Structure formats: C-alpha cells, structure tokens
Structure 1
Amino acid sequence: MKIKVLRIAMGLMAISSLLLTSCSSDDGGPDTDEPTCSDGIMNGDETGIDCGGSCSECEDTNLTGSLSEDRTLDASKTYTLTTTFSIESGATLTIPAGTKIVADVESGDETSTYIVVQKGAKIDIQGTSSNPVEMTSANEEPGDWGGLVIAGNATTTEGTDAVAEVGSIVYGGSDDTDDSGSISYLIIKYAGAQINSESQYNGLTLYAVGSETTIDNVAIIDGKDDGVEFFGGTVSASNFYLENNEDDAVDWTEGWSGTLTNTYVVHTIEGFSTAVEADGENGNPTLANFTAISTTGGTALQFKKTSGATITGLSLAGYDTTVDMKDDGPLTNVQIDGADADPELSYIATPSVDIDSFSWVNSSTTAESSVLTGTLTSELTLDADIKYFLDSTFSVEEGGKLIIPAGTEIVADVESGDETSTYIVVQKGGEIDVQGTAANPVIMTSANETAGDWGGLVIAGNATTTEGTDATAEVGQISYGGSDDADSSGSISYLIIRYAGAQINSESQYNGLSLYAVGSGTTIDNVAIIDGKDDGVEFFGGTVSASNFYLENNEDDAVDWTEGWSGTLTNTYVVHTIEGFSTAVEADGVNGNPTLANFTAASTTGGIALQFKKTSGATITGLSLTGYDTTVDMKDAGPLANVQIDGADADPELSYIATPTVDIAAFAWVNSETEIETSVLSGSLTADLTLDADITYYLAQTLSVESGATLTIPEGTSIIADVESGDETSTYIVVQKGAMIDIQGTEASPVVMTSSNESAGDWGGLVIAGNASTTEGTDATAEVGQISYGGSDDTDSSGSIKYLIIKYAGAQINSESQYNGLSLYAVGSGTTIDNVAIIDGKDDGVEFFGGTVSASNFYLENNEDDAVDWTEGWSGTLTNTYVVHSIVGFSTAVEADGFNGNPTLANFTAVSTEDGIALQFKKTSGATITNLYLDGYATLVDMKDSGPLANVQIDGADATVEGPYNTGTPVDVTLFDWATGN
C-alpha cells in the first residue's frame, strides 16, 4: 500500500490542476471519452490500478521475483525475463495462446534467469497450433537462460523434499497424481544454462511432476543442455519436437515412470550427446512412437546404471550407435518393440511420428525421412532432403514415373527373411528418372550393410528377348519382353547401388541392377554397383546400351547377360579383391553379339575374367585384364570365333594384360575405399620417386631415371611393359649415369618386371649405366638407346637390387644389337645386386659391359641367346648362379668376349635338356671359375677365337674342352623357389 500511496501522491503533484476524486466502486472520477490509465490514476470508467484493478496499458511486462497470487499474462504483450521468476505454492500463472516471453540476460546471469513452478503451484500454458506460446532469449544463443522448471509432489528416488541440482528448488513427495497444471503448444529456445560440468538447466526440467499434470505439444530447440529431463515423477507427455539440443534430447533419472508419446528428435549439429539418456534406477518409463534422425552420426539411446524403458514404434536414422549400455546394464531392461534391445540393429524403420504434425513449430531445420512401399501409378518426385526407407517392394506401375533427384538416398530396411521381397521394380510401361550428378549421386543401399540385404533395382521393358513376349522373370513374377526394341524405361545417371543381390535359391537371385528386355530408348550412364551378393548388372535380353560402369566386389559376376542381349556396354571398370567371386563377365545362351567397348578388370585374388556359356559371345575392344588366373573360359566349348577381342578370336592362352583402357579416376564420384590402382611409367624421372606396391604399373615407352634421381621400387611391386607392335625396342627402363635404383623385393614379395603379351623380346628390360671403367673409355655410347656410360670411378654406385624377376625381355634392334633382361654398362662395385631371376628373354639374361660390379644368386631360365654374357673387360664376381636350358636353339650358358678382365664365377651351375654350348670365350676373354657344375651340354668349353685356355681357370686349373665338369656341387635350385613358384 505504501507503493500505491506514493504513486497517488506523485500523481497529485503532477496534475494538481485537475479535479481528482477518491477511489470508489464506480470509479467516481470525471467522465472522459479517452482512457488515460497510463497516467497512474483512475479516470472515467476505468478500473484503476491504484484500486487494485487492471489496466492493460499499465501492466508491468517484466517477469521477476515471486508470484503468490494467480496471474494471467496478456498475449498482446511481450514479456521480459531478467532473473528468476518463481510461481509460489497456491498461485497459478496462466499464459494465453500467442504469448511471448524473452529472457534478456546479462552475461553471467544465465543460471539465475529461468521460470520455476514450485511445489503446490501451477502453470497453465494455453498455446494453440496457430498461436503457440514461445519462450526464447534476446541473444538467441544456446545456454542463454535456464528454461522452464516445474517442481512437483510425486515420488522420486531422491525422496521427499529433495533439493534440485539447480536453484535449490525443493521437490518430491508421495502424491503421484499431483497436478502442476497444463502445457499445450509451447516452444522453448536457447535454454540450458550451464552451472558447471555436473549441473545444468535444460529446456524443460520436470522435478517429481505428477501424473495429473498435462503436457502436450512442446518444441525445445537449440538448447545448450538437454531438451527435456525428467527427475523422477509420474508425469506423461506427448507430441514433443526436440531439435539440436547440444546434450541429450530426452533425459530421465531418479525413477521416472511416465510415458512419452510421439517424439521427433532432429540432430544436424556435431557433438551432441544422445537422443535419449536414461540414468539411475529403472522406473520402466514408456516411449511410444519415438523417431530420431541424425545427419552427423552420434549415439541414439544411452542407458546408464540399471536404467531401462519400454519402447514401441522406434525409428532411428543416421546414428553411429543405436543402443549404448553405458554401465553394462542388462539389455533386458530395454524392451524395443517387444524384444530385448540389440546394439547390433540399426532400428531404421518407417518414421513412427509424422514430421508434419510439428508444422506449428515453423522450424527451418529438419532431417526428414519417408518410406517407399506399395505401387506408384502416377508421377512422383522424391525430395533429396528426405532419407527414404524401402521396407518392402516398391513398384512403379505402367504409366507411373519415379523421379529421383541428385543426392537422394534410399535405404532398404529389411527384416531377416524379407530380403527377396524388398526391391524397387519399374514395370513394363513404367519409367524411372535417376538424376544423380558426380557431386551428388543417388544412393540405394541397405540399413544392415550386408551383401544380399535386398533385391536392388529391377527394370522390365518391352524390347525383344529370346524368352518371347510377356515372359515371367525369375524374380518377383515380373512380366517383361515384347517387340519394341526402341522402348524407353527412362534414364539413369550417377547411381550407386550397394549390398543388393538377395538370394531366392541356387538358381534364382536378384542382382544390383537387373535389366529385363529393356529397350534402346533407355539411357543408363555412370552406375556403381558394390558389394552385391550376386551379379552387379545382368541383362536379360533387350537392346539397351549403358556406359561408365564401376563394379566392385560383387560376389557372383560383375557383368552378366543372357537371352540374346544385343546392346553395348562402354567404359567398364571391374574390381575384385575378395575370394570366391565367379567372373568379371558371364555370358549365356544365344549370341546376340553385344559389344564391350573399353573393359578393364583387375583382381587381387585370381579367378576367371571372361566366361562364355552355350553359344554366347561378344565383340570386345579395349580389353585390359590384370590378376586373373583364367582370362577366357568357353564353359560349354562354344566357338572362340564368337568372342572377338580387339579384332581377333579370343585366345585363352593370352593374359590380355594391358594399360587400363578405363581411367579409375573417372569413378572418383563413387568414393570407394577399395581400389586396385594402376599407373603408367614413361618419360624422364628427374626427382626421387617411390612406387606403390598396391599399384600395378605399366611401362608404355622408355622410363629414364636421370642423374641425381633415385627410383625406389618396394617389395611386391609389379611393372608390366604394355607394348604395341614395333615399339619393343623403345620400351625399357634405364638408370642413367649418376642416377640410382633401389629395388626392395623380398623372398616373399619379389619385384616383378614383365610384359603384357608374355612373349620373348616384348621389351628391352632393365638397363643400368654407371661410371666405372670399361675398355670403351669414358662416356661411351651403348649399342642400345644411345645411352652414355663409363668413367673412372670403379666404386661407383648405381643403387641396389634385391629379389627381382625379369620376364620376356630382350627386344631385338638388329642382328648385332639387342637388349637383354638386365644390361649393366660400366656399373661400379658400389652397386649391390642380389637374387635376380631372368626368364624367357629373347636375348641374353644378364650382360656386363665392362664395370666392376659383383652380383649373387642369379636364376636364368630359357633366355634364347646367352644366359650370362660379358665384354669390355668386366672384372667383377658372379656368385651362386643357376642356368636352365630346356628350349632348342639357345646360344650359351656363358658367353665372354673382348679383353680379359678376369671376372670370377663362384658356384656356377648350368643344366641343359637340349645339348648346346655351356661356356664360350671369344677373343682373349677369360674368367676364374670355382665350383663349376655343367650337365647336358654337347660342348662344355668353346674357345671361339682360339684364345688361350689358360685364361679360363676352372677350379684351379686351365680349362679343358673335354671337361667333364660334373663333379662340382650344384647350386641348390630351391634357393630360387621365390622366382619359380616351386
């Protein structure tokens, strides 16, 4: 009353010239047409504020302090919350529809700014869907204020009159039917003020609130801590929308036992905690219809201690962890749709809550989802912002059209046993339009991410097939086939299909993409099919063509066709890194002579590349195969002429290894982590380069390692000379003077240098030029490649070679000049060469042109000229050499020419099954040989130019032509099992 008197006195002083009367029941003041209650005095027919009445223009809009009497706010006003506003026991705060309350908080006051409904008090929030009540903050930052706190008199494991972790609020009692009022259509934003790491406010905090309290249609958005937290109590609530609250969307503890019905959680921010966190004793609350969606992974449901719940209608999408029993509590405490919770399940399902029921929230941030099922008889365009779930067959009927925009994701959510009934089918007369892009492909995948989870995409067309008109597919009783070869089933661009290939039985299976009699009017471009249980793509007749296909680790065939398919597949890349797949291509039935243009397939596990059954065939151009045990398999002995590969009949004896005709980089949009990379080596190397053993390298011309550079080749690396006819002599690797090579093969993983055609003389092998002495002098020019070699540094190092296999080298320039497997020009003694196998060369295995280098552990098999050759005064040592000759027409096991640098052969074994010459010495050449073993040669020692036998010392004596030289100890050939595969 003192305040009121003071205001009256002030009014009297301010307007003393007016006629004033005292307060009375009828106001007693002068009549006036205009209300003037803003002056603080009754006027006319007003009910004056000075008499305890109401005046809307004069009402205080600051919410602060304690409310001990009932109060109704005015929806036409915006209320400001600057500190704690406490509704005391016995009072009710009524908030009409459309009211807005704004927390206007100074920094540091966040935790003291909140609304609390104390035990015995009530709140009545009367929002509607068209006019919700809103509680927000002026700064619009998460954690700006403490939200709405309600303390009730129901039970809690903390007992009666417990003290809350926030605001010292007293809560809890024994009245489980306690009534704290009613909430309807309320939006709370930016709450969740942080006291410390253990104590925080939430958006809506419910302390021991009782079951007579009604809470319906609440949205809690952008909170710093939890959206809603139940501290014991029995209250139930429904229709909750919780978006981007940084800790938990829904949290409970202290034995809450109510029900939360129809909850929709959205997470589009990084770092949130959970969609649900439950702690403490298990009051077994119920979540009925709970949908949660994350675009950033995270944990969905977390249960601490012995907490639990009964959950029905659970739908989760996008979480990394679905169920987390934080303290190893029993999974039986958490019942989900009638079964114990299973952390291995995704719980992806049709959303059990319709996002449209929260349109009243007017949020611009939603991560929507939807389910595809049933039949589509009209045109439907999907929304790329929605994640779609396929939980059964979705059939695009005749006249229907399914349009799938770039970036759309469709997830097959399949219960065990339903795999073969879960697929998308475009029926005859229906259309599909997949509008993916390289930046935003369309993705069709499965929730369980296991091969065979679902049936993939099936398209049925009206083109011809050997099965006739209206044939019935082996899957789904789908009708296909007709007489319109130009039929169109739509368009597919940039589509990824994963985990398809559901198995009906041993004879019938779905594939990733199944094309039944699809016509040439259909366009299919840029498709990736990965980790399927059956085929990647299969053509059942039809005339459709397709291009740019990436097929990875499909367990049956990558590409399959039958029933007379006659289209073209252009630019296909197949990857096999799993055991047990069937083929890269399987063709069956009548030969419609389809075309494969640019087909690259690579396997790290062997297997069959191309298999043709019955009389099937194809025209194949640009074929590149790597790593298959069998290249062409005519399963039923069909004619090889039916399979034309690069203009010739298929040849199962050929490897078809070639430079990849399709660039793997063209499929970067797939973002696959499984790649078998290939690369081309060519040109000059002027800086250090280390190759990658996981990449297959192709030598397309000369690769020259220049002075100052080092080429490092790790163990297990494969280099394949891919040579066009006529380019053999320009295809080799050369290490120039001053350069180095470091071949790091091992017994288990040697480095391999070979050729794609696998024919002797395909390429020029490995050439090393050093700076040691040679009878040709300094900077001599090699007979091959105009390579400069020779100097005065006999200790020069050109690097190191260990465990190297060289095959099919020895390209022929002319009768006087040839490449070898390994050509060593004036290589110095600082170079180390150990464990080298040179096999099936057209010319020499290894030839030393002067130099001082030594080498050891050489295996030389069926090189057509000489196994070991030297000239120009080579003076090094070759230790532990094994030569095999089982071909007619070779030259020698050893040929030595020119000036005698007296090199040493220590432990030299040579075996021939075809006679021939073992050791041949020209001019004045010679050697010191210890532990010589020769077997099977017609001529043991041949002094070609009648040089002195004394130049050739064998086991301490002058060489003799007669020998016999079979008493030495043979080099153990098993030392070379790493090269021979024995």
Structure 2
Amino acid sequence: MSFNTLFRNLFLAGAACAALGACTQGSDIASPGTTNPGTPPGGGGGGGGGNGGTATCPTGFTTGTAVGNTTTCLISGAILTNLNLPQVDGIAYRIQGRVDIGSDIGADGNAAGGTAARLTIAPGVTLYGESGADYIVVNRGSQLEADGTQASPIIFTSADDIARRADNDPTNDDGGDNISEWGGLVILGQAPINRCRDAATPGTVDCENIVEGVTNPDALYGGNDTADNSGILRYVQVRFAGFAINTQGNELNGITFAGVGNGTTVENVQVHNNSDDGVEFFGGNVNVRNLVLTGNDDDSIDTDNGYQGNIQYAIVVQRNAGGDNIVEASSAAPGVTPLSNAQISNFTFIARSGGGNGFRLNTGTVGRYVNGVLFEQGDECFRYQDSAGNGTPGYQGIGQDPSFDSVLFDCAAGLATANSEAGTAEAAVAGGTNNLQASNSLAARFFPGPVEAGVTAFDPTTLNPFFQQTSYIGAFGPNETETQNWAAGWTFALFADPVCPTGTTDSGFEINDVTVCRLSGIVTSDIRLTRGNFYELDGRVDIGVDVGADGNAQGGDPASITIESGVTIFGDSGQDYLVVNRGSQIFSNGTSANPVIFTSENDVTNAAGDRTNAISEWGGLVILGRAPINRCRDAATPGTAACENIVEGVTNPDALYGGGITGDSSGSMTFTRVQFAGFAINTQGNELNGITFGGVGNGTTAENIQVHNNSDDGVEFFGGNVNVRNLVLTGNDDDSIDTDNGYQGNIQFAIVVQRDAGGDNIVEASSAAPGVTPLSNANVANFTFVARSGGGNGFRLNTGTVGRYVNGVLFEQGDECFRYQDSAGNGTAGYQGVGQDPSFDSVLFDCTAGLATANSEAGTAEAAVAGGTNNVTGANSLSGTFINGANETAVTAFDVTTLDPWFQATTYAGAVQNNADRWWAGWSCGLEASSPC
C-alpha cells in the first residue's frame, strides 16, 4: 500500500467516524502511556472556567465556589473521626487551609488530647488547594488511605490546574513551569529518627522533632516504632504544590514523610512541579516502590535525620526551568544512629543542564545506590562533601561512605564538583562493582539501550527482602515500552507525545496510531531517530557527503545517524534506501528486547499478508568506509588511499568506497534487523544487498545483525576489514555471505538458513585476481549453514580468494558442498601458512550431492578438506534446524584465537552449541515458530 492509498483510507475512515459519531478520538483522560492521564473532574469539558459545576456534593459536605465546570466540596480544619471521600463525577474536594487528620497521639500513643483518625480517599478522587496555605497534615497515629488504581489515580492538585484543564486549550494541560500553587502533603509517624528537638537519645521513643513547613501549631514526628503504619499511598499524584511557610528553608515539600514507618504502603506515587523538594524523608524507614518525580524545583529526593528506607524503581526528570540536586542525602552528624542510610535500586535520573548535581552527599549520610542510570546534562555527578560518611569504618561492610554498584554515570561536567571530596567520590565509583562512566543510550528518554543493557545488574535482594530481583539497571526493564510499563496510565506529563526529530519531517500520516516521520535527501547534520515514531525512507537517503579516502574531498560533509533501540525504519519501494557515505557514521544500536528494524511499508502496515516469501519490497542499507580494497576504478595501486571504487546498487550519483585506513569507523550496528529488502537499480548484477559493507574498517562495530528475505545477497563485503559477530542470515535470495575486493575481516557465530523458495550459494568468495593485495581472505568461525535443495552450493570459491573456515557445520540438502573454481586461491603458495587455497578446519560437511560440482576443481576441494584438521564428512544431527546435536558435538574444535585475537575461544563447532545457547533469540526473527518475521 502506498502512502497515497493509506492516506485516502485514513481520510475515509475519519469521515465515516464524523458522520456516525461513533469513533473514539482522544480525550483528556489519556490512554496508558500518553501525556496527561488523571484529569480532574470537569477538566476536559466545556464551559471554560466560569460556568460552574452541576454535580452535587455527597451528604455531609459543604459546597464551595466552583472551579471551571467542577463542583467544589469543602474539607477543612481538624478531622478527628474517620472520613471517606467518595468519587463523584464532576466534583473535587477543596483543601481549605491547613487540614489535620487526627491530632498528635505522641511517640508512645499516649499524648494528652491525642486523637487518631483516618482519611480514606476513593480511586479517581481529586483534591485541590487554592494557595500555599492549603495543605494536609496526617498526624502521628492517624492514617491516610489514598488507594487509587492505574486507571483511576488519586490526584492532589491546585485550583489553577483544574481551571487550566477546563479552558479547552490543550497547550495548557501540563501546567508548563507552574509551581507553588498550593501547599502539599505532610505525613507524620512514630518511627525512629536521629535528630531530636530536646536532649533525647536519637532513635528512642523520646526523640521527636518539629516537621519542616508546618506552623501554628507545630507538628511533631518520631518515636521508636519501625513498623509504624501511616496508611496507604498507591497510584497517587501530587501536582503544582510547595510553599515557604515563613522563611526560606522552612517549606512544604510535595510529600513530606517524617518518621514514617515501614508498615506504611507507598507505591506508584508521583510528585510533579513542586516548588521545594519532590519528596523528603525525615528519618523513619518507609519503603517506596514505583516513584516518579518530575519538574520539581529543589531536590527531587531528600533524605535526612536517619532515614533508613528502601526505594525501588524511581524516575526523576527535571524541567528546564527548575531543579537542584536529584538526591540530597544528609543526617544529624556522622556516626549518629539510626544512620541516614537510604537504599535505592533501579533508578533513572535525568537532570537538567545548569541545575545541581546528581548526588549531593553530606553530613553523616551513608546510602547504597544500585542498578541506576544518572544522566547529568550539564553538571557533575557528585557534590561529595567532606562531611559525608558515617564516621564508622566497616558499617554493614560498606565502609564509611556512600556506595554504588551497577550504576551508569553520564555527567557532562565530570564526576565531582570543585568543592567536592573528589578523591572520595572517585573511590566510591571505582570501588563498587560494575559501575560505568559512559554516554547513555536511553531510548525515548527512559528506556534501556545497548549501553544500559551491557551493565551487569546488582542483586538488590541481598540488601533487603523488600527489593525485587532484577536483571537490568534503570527504572524500566528491557521488555517495557512507552505504552506498556509500570508508570503508564496513571502518571502526569511524564511521557511526552512523540514528535518528529530535527532532520525529519512529519508526514502527516499515522500507522496504528504511530506518527510517521520522513527522511529524505542528503542529511548533513547529525540526526537522532527517537523511539515512539515510525520513520519512512523517501527515496535515496544519504548520511553525509563523501569526504573522500583522505577526508579532504571537495564538498565533503560528514554526519551521523543515531537510531534508538526499538525504532522501525521502512521504505515503500526499491528506490528507498539508506547510504552512509565515507566519513559519516551510523549508530543503529538496539537491544535484544528492542532491536532496530529496517523493513518495508508492506510489513509495517500488514498490507501483504503472508510474509514467508516476501522480498524486494524496499532497497536496503549501504555503508561505505575508507578501509583498503583491491579493485580500483582508476589506475591506482590496490590497498592504497588512491584505490577507490563505485559501490554496487547506488547510482545518480555514484557512491564511492575505499581508502587506506584499516581502523576506519563507520559507527556501530548492534541488534539490528534488515528484512524484505533488495532491488536491482538498473541492470542485473547491480543490485542492493540487505547490507552492503563497502571498504568498511575494523573500527566499526557490527554485532547481532540479521538480514532476512533479501532479493540479492544477505550481506556483501567489498574489501575492508570490518569484523562481524552474531550474524543471522535467513531466506535471502542470492548468496547469503558474499566477500569480494580484498575483504579481510573476521566473522564469528553465523547462522544461515535458506528458505525453500530462494537462495543461491551460502558463501560466495572472490577477489580482483589471484595475488592482488590486500587478498580476499575472510576468517569465518563457528558457523551453521543450512542450504535448501536445488539452490547453489555451500561455498562458491573463485577469483583469487583465500579464506579460512573453521568450527563449522554445512548441511546442503540437495547440492554439493563446493563449487570450487580454478581461479580460486591467491596464487602465492605459503601465504600466512595457509597455502594458496581456501582452507577448512573442524568443519562437518553433510552435502547430499557430494563434495564438489562437476565444473569444480574437485581435487583441490578434496585436498582442502583432507588437508585441514578434524574435518568430518557425514550426517548432521542438528535439532531445531541449526542447534548442535551429538554429531556436531563430536567434532574437535579448532582454537580460533590462533587466527586473530578478536575471536572468542570456543570448544565446539557450529554457531549454536546446544539448546541452552540462545544468543540469537529475542532480537532475530524466523528462526523459531514463536518469532515469525
């Protein structure tokens, strides 16, 4: 289906909806994963702020002044008996002044005049304040039970927020940079603290303190009940709060947890755009799971006064206009117990440029931070002050300082501020396990890319049974997506609506409700394709302008294309393809769970039905580098910088490859699939392969790559020396691996499976002519080649090629192992000890029609097999098409590290050792029934 057809169909569908009035469009209560779920009642209706509400308050509530089209029901003063707030469409509850839930019963429960009460809030209820004087205090001994659901979160917000969302202007819905529009939520408990207002022993029942932000009268917290239960906060949002009660530093946070114990349930809680801290923990040991902090103006997580709780799955995103430190951790003084010792696992912290630091650590704090990602866009990771640490070496085996394990630090200004204990910060990072200082590869802002996936996770269950075991770092796991994740459906303004990134254009079309962004022409500025959109190749798309073999070509202009994990790029015809020119780079770095996919429009729109034999539905991927080649278009010396050539399949204008830089880098491709491509540009033999590597150097990373159902070769290497690990080639119509023009790279772990309807040779290897250097001399190890009956041969060897093939399995179901031509070999006996011909070691040959074709140099083929070590001619015992069985296991393996240090040592022949070896699973398609292409 072309896009003109697609647009017509979408237009007609839209017209039908308009006529029938029956098709659901967007609403302010957004679907899971979109921008603004949890709209306050009346926020999406008409009336624009002045019509007043028509709903009726529940019995017992006084009706206040309406906000927009929302009826207001008042709560005020001290609530000394249990109170329920039911959900009623069209109403919100006004927090009128300071509202106390119960009166303080004291640390021991016996305070004179103390009264315990409970405020129960139904799912979907909205409460709001009109100014900083409006806030809720849950006193010691009392409880707040705000138990929402994913579909119906409980919302604490401001009158301004409700009015904004009632004005029918969706640009106002997220509240922008507004803060401090009401007070906040204060929860006080009887759990231990270490900063006492009187001369009491920290951590005892006598140690209590006055909470920040609350006056007239003061409110107290603290005690010795670690299991203190202050209620439930589940699926709760607190928006646009925070207020300085009297002086700077005595402010209301979004949520204040003061002396709150671990009998309290806190799960799925968000604080958005608070003017002070997002959440602050004054002592206590409450545990928190699924915490979202967005746009807060001071610190996002502040721990103090002996807080010893655990936090797992935490997202922090600062807004451009505000935000200080992500974490500020402190205590009463070093060594005072209970120590401030928060433990945080699985966090993703994204800090603005020009705010504070990722971690400000001071005043006797310890803390354990594991399985995290910190992205500081303009500042240092740490402000690590000399007062940090508990002053008691060996505490819990950690030592006296905060510690970090399995954390990715990506901080623009370096590790520590100038006023830090830089050496201590460096030691904390270096002393932990699996910490990494590197650029992040987060996709769609939050989701793990290949860098995050490469960090070995820490087992947080060893810290505390509260933690859930995870195999990943960051707040989101590898299988979570923008619409299917623990934060989807109940959070506010967290997931921005995807927009087409700079360098692309919005096509105006959607596929399955996903925006299609268009790439076209010549890209001369670096471009990043962000997850959440589809990307259409509109004709030939060039990344950069050729800089020449020496980097000085007139008009040369390098650029890069970065493709986030999980992105899909498609073309509509063979005229749609991507060319990465010399000097430019591609970074197509997916993950096992979220590979990058290059495919066709038919595939994306499911327009073509059965995909089994679908081929040639778009062009392909061409990557051009400056590494040596041996076939020159002009009278140049092969292998020199002057030797360059025109790449196959690309015309108007031609595209060049080759040079003298063996370490040339064309970027990185990991966990990337290319499917249903291939096209003859003009004449037979001038075709686009699935992936063309032209003069690509070994500074390029190529790992976990699949080409499926290409109409020409799966991959073709024209010279160069790029190395490839974990290569899957399925259903390709010509050769699967084609090496030519002096290719000297290494390939390890290669699965090739031909489909019944297509496929020629598994390997075609050739060169310019015998003896021309650099020789075509690929090293291929640990391969499993499964060829169809009636196609080509396992190996077609011709025209000056050498090559070393070891630890392999070849199953030719109807043809010969070799078409071994008399032109094969480099013509120079003794080359690198290999001799003049291709050679084989530790290969199982199972070929129905015998060893070599009738038009082969049969004797040379036989000699190559017989002259190698541990080659076997006999039946295979592969299971599941390509997985080793007993016969493959019986082959004595060749030590591949003797060929090149790049190879990984193995003890087996074949690409897949056994059923437990699943390096190919999850990111590839078509190799097992559960993952069709």
Same fold (TM over 0.5): no
Report the structure, 1 or 2, having the larger strand content.
Answer: 1
Please report the TM-score for the alignment, with normalisation by the length of structure 2: 0.38
- Between structure 1 and structure 2, the one with the greater Rg is 1
Higher RCO (CA 8 Å, separation ≥ 6 residues)? 2
